[in-house]
Structure 1
Amino acid sequence: MRGWRPGRARTHGRIAAALATAGLLAVTACTGAPASGAPSAADPTPSPGVSVRAPNSAVAAQLDMAVAGVMRQAGVPGVIVGLWIPGKGSYVRSFGIADKSSGTAMSEAMRMRIGSVTKTFTVTALLRLVDAGKVGLDDPVSDYVKDVPNGERITLRQLAEMRSGLYPYTDDPDFDKDFLSDPDRVFTPQQLLAYSFKHPVGFPPGQKFQYSNTNLILLGLVVEKASGQSLRDYLREQVLEPGHLDHTLFPAGAEFPEPHAQGYTEQTPDGEEANATNWDPSWAWAAGAMISDLSDLRAWARILAMGTLLEPATQAQRLKMLPTGFPGTAYGLGIFVSHGWIGHNGSLPGYQTVAVYLPSAKATLVVLSNTDNNYQGNENSTLFAKAVTSIVTPGNVYDVPPTQTAPGSPSASPSG
């Protein structure tokens, strides 16, 4: 799961980048004062003024054209776009096809793999344990997981903030080889961590931002240790059921409930397109293995941004956004803000997702596409979200920049 990855996988390094199950940035950025436009816990909506266009028939026609344009540019087979603005209306459309073999049209009822949007669920599970008094955000990870490099100094907070310094396991060449040689392979969390832990720690905890899926694998293990349950069971009982998210699941294996769209990827050793629908998601686990649909992600984006499942003080901690190095974007505890839009994105072979909420307009935006093809370094989900928000909320245009990493080299920054 990655994001902000340039182009298509043609080389070893590009493949590794494609597998960086991220959801936002995968770049390294120094700490400092909050980035310009980044919200604090007290002020989660930095936009100076709210400019929102009602999605009437004329605006909907503009949106249709914009979405179709992105589909052509990025070579996207199918996409679902949902935008809801209380008091102004909604725009909900499905475009293209869900299955190239059968020609089945994309449908708003179809489920998709959501990549790094999973991170928002895993960190919410952690924060539910904080509210229950079972963990503390400033506990060292070594209290819960043994043999973590620098584990006595890395806190749970720093893992959730992407500031641990631990090497991203998806950047490891051996992981790259092992996964792509057998996409049906089942990985354990411990095996994933082993790819990371053979590399030195990159920097002292808290010093920099670096998007690393290793952080979320560890937080998944912390949830299991502190709760005494599997991550799957705890998420279902403490997050999905309270959130009434009946079409969202953390799969036990490669199962994929119907109806679902087929997912297509060119992130293969030879650059040829492959159907990645049933690739085993265990390699992403707590960082990106979950499945959802449009209606559930609509509800989840608001739950996430408003802190419905958390104590107010805990949600305030979550929304203490820190700089990432990109103007207008900042990262909190398993959540980011992009020009006022709060939530996360996700990308893994075959699928991309954006699920965000704009508190100033009480607006929700969800994008689900069935390919991870990029265009000029930009994830297609970012292009869809940017196109929609440029028209409807021009004062708050969602935009996650492309990575600055040179083509052909592994990237330390994800976005999906």
Structure 2
Amino acid sequence: MSFSFRRGRVGGAVAVFAAAAMLLTGCTGDERPAPADIADPLPEEVTERLQAASERAAAAAGAPGAIVGVWVPWAGEWVSGVGETEPGSGVQPSPEMTFRAATVTRSMTCDVLYAMDGGAVDLDDSLTEYVHSVPHLDEVTLVDLCDGVAGLRSSDSGNWNAMLSNPTREWSPREFAATGLGAGQGKVGVWAESDTSFFLLGLALENASRTTMRELYERYVAEPQGLHNTVLPNDQASAPGSEPLPGFYTSSSARENGCEEPPRDMTELSASIGYASSGVVSDVADLGSYVANVAASAGSGDDLAPRWARSVPLEDDGAQWMRAAGGNRLLGSMLGQQGKIFGYSTAAYSDIDTGLTVVVALNNSAAGGDLAGALARELAAIAFETPSEDRPETSLPWTADQAHQAVGDAAVCPIE
């Protein structure tokens, strides 16, 4: 497959920049405090439950530790490192440490798409306008890729062994796209977990703007929101930042033996493995601010903004409150993302209606986004119960006990 830059409607991108910046900085008239403005600590009895849940989930993931942030607008915040940075180190992770944000990157890729809409691209443009080597996808639009409903399968299984054996290799996005397309077509209009969609969307946005995704994230996401530790690194293999949380991976054979072997260090990685699907690096404060901004721009749970109004269920026969649209997952009224990249399992969610925000980074990718997402739901449910006269009269469609069970169900290492 060959991919080349296409000269797009670049001038229009500048015209929509200011509007996009206002959208993503949460200028919605909502008076809820941003995570950075919540300074009071949560009550001790609440933080003890949050700590215990995080420690259990880290053990379930085979992770030496975790970095967790919980911001409750009506009650306070808890931001902490849990466990240790690496097995036997005895060093508690610092909340200032950076890590790989995994599939939170997909939300940012869609931010770029919507910021460029009406300028260099239109949402309903065919993918083939910008990526000419996929003529059979002429009915797939850019917004289909963002929404995850293009009927494209993931590239993960096809490239897994090559990535695992050589994580420092520099990849081209077209290699992942080719592998995913080679896996065959799924059902158009049905949501699917597909990195292929975001590799193709990243290529289309780069070709339309003649600008790298690294620069597009900086222009349309990090700079407008003041996310100083959020970046798509260069392709050369490196740790995620100058003060990184070490990342690990427990092999399937080690899991079968009860996770008694030390996990493999995966801190050094080429961000090209993730690119526009899972390549961004960030920290807990940036991700908390970011996902709260996105949720604040989404309208209300009863009247979602157009980007999220056409959500579809993650599974037709599954819980209907688990949905997807706009590069995000919607868990009831909580909007965000969850997923993995070698070394890290990450989740970030914020409640559209209340501003309750949770970020989780486990430093082992073996359990993936299912476990990180389950922990995020457990922490959100615990935090939502924090007593206060300002506590909103709404509820989540799951309980802390149900999420606690989901963490156990997703466990890859012993926890009891």
Place the TM-score, normalised by the shorter chain, in its bin: 0.7 to 0.9
What one-letter code is carried by the residue in structure 2 that aligns with 1:59? V
What one-letter code is carried by the residue in structure 2 that aligns with 1:87? W
Shift in Å at residue 389 of structure 1?
2.3
Residues 149 and 314 of structure 1: CA distance in aligned 2, closer, same or farther (over 3 Å): farther
Higher relative contact order (CA 8 A, sep 6+): 1
Question: Scaled by the length of structure 2, what TM-score is found?
Answer: 0.75
- Does residue 306 of the first structure (1) align with residue 296 of the second (2)? yes
Equivalent-residue separation in structure 2 for 1:314 and 1:66 (angstroms):
31
Residue 115 of structure 1 corresponds to which residue in structure 2?
102
Report SS of the residue matched to 1:163.
coil
- Does residue 181 of the first structure (1) align with residue 165 of the second (2)? yes
Paired residues for 1:314-329 under 5 Å: 315-325=305-315, 326-327=318-319, 328-329=321-322
Equivalent-residue separation in structure 2 for 1:307 and 1:166 (angstroms):
28
Deviations 1:142-196 (A, max 9, x none): 1110122631111112111111112321132xx2232223221111011222212
What one-letter code is carried by the residue in structure 2 that aligns with 1:60? T
Residue 222 of structure 1 corresponds to which residue in structure 2?
204
Find the partner of 2:66 among 72, 79, 85: 79
Equivalent-residue separation in structure 2 for 1:58 and 1:199 (angstroms):
49
- Does residue 351 of the first structure (1) align with residue 344 of the second (2)? yes
Question: Scaled by the length of structure 1, what TM-score is found?
Answer: 0.75
What one-letter code is carried by the residue in structure 1 that aligns with 2:276? A
Paired residues for 1:389-408 under 5 Å: 389-393=380-384, 395-396=395-396, 397=398
Deviations 1:341-361 (A, max 9, x none): 111112122111111111222
Residue 387 of structure 1 corresponds to which residue in structure 2?
378
Which runs of no fewer than 5 residues in structure 1 stay unpaired? Answer: 1-53, 408-416
Equivalent-residue separation in structure 2 for 1:335 and 1:263 (angstroms):
24
Residue 18 of structure 2 corresponds to which residue in structure 1?
none
Q: Do the aligned partners of 1:378 and 1:401 also contact (CA within 8 Å) in 2? A: no
Q: Do the aligned partners of 1:79 and 1:94 also contact (CA within 8 Å) in 2? A: yes
What one-letter code is carried by the residue in structure 2 that aligns with 1:390? A
Find the partner of 2:185 among 186, 196, 201: 201
Residue 33 of structure 2 corresponds to which residue in structure 1?
none
Deviations 1:275-298 (A, max 9, x none): 011022312211001100011011
Q: Do the aligned partners of 1:129 and 1:226 also contact (CA within 8 Å) in 2? A: no
Equivalent-residue separation in structure 1 for 2:91 and 2:307 (angstroms):
44
Q: Do the aligned partners of 1:149 and 1:201 also contact (CA within 8 Å) in 2? A: no
Equivalent-residue separation in structure 2 for 1:314 and 1:390 (angstroms):
22
Deviates more, 1:193-202 or 1:359-368: 193-202
Which runs of no fewer than 5 residues in structure 2 stay unpaired? Answer: 1-40, 256-260, 386-394
Equivalent-residue separation in structure 2 for 1:221 and 1:108 (angstroms):
33
Residue 59 of structure 1 corresponds to which residue in structure 2?
46
Equivalent-residue separation in structure 1 for 2:62 and 2:288 (angstroms):
25
- Does residue 244 of the first structure (1) align with residue 234 of the second (2)? no
Q: Do the aligned partners of 1:168 and 1:212 also contact (CA within 8 Å) in 2? A: yes
Residue 22 of structure 2 corresponds to which residue in structure 1?
none
Residue 11 of structure 2 corresponds to which residue in structure 1?
none
Q: Do the aligned partners of 2:147 and 2:327 also contact (CA within 8 Å) in 1? A: yes
Equivalent-residue separation in structure 1 for 2:253 and 2:214 (angstroms):
32
Residue 50 of structure 1 corresponds to which residue in structure 2?
none
Q: Do the aligned partners of 1:161 and 1:332 also contact (CA within 8 Å) in 2? A: yes
The percent of aligned pairs where both chains have the same amino acid is: 26
Find the partner of 2:175 among 168, 191, 196: 191
Report SS of the residue matched to 1:177.
helix
Aligned pairs, number: 341
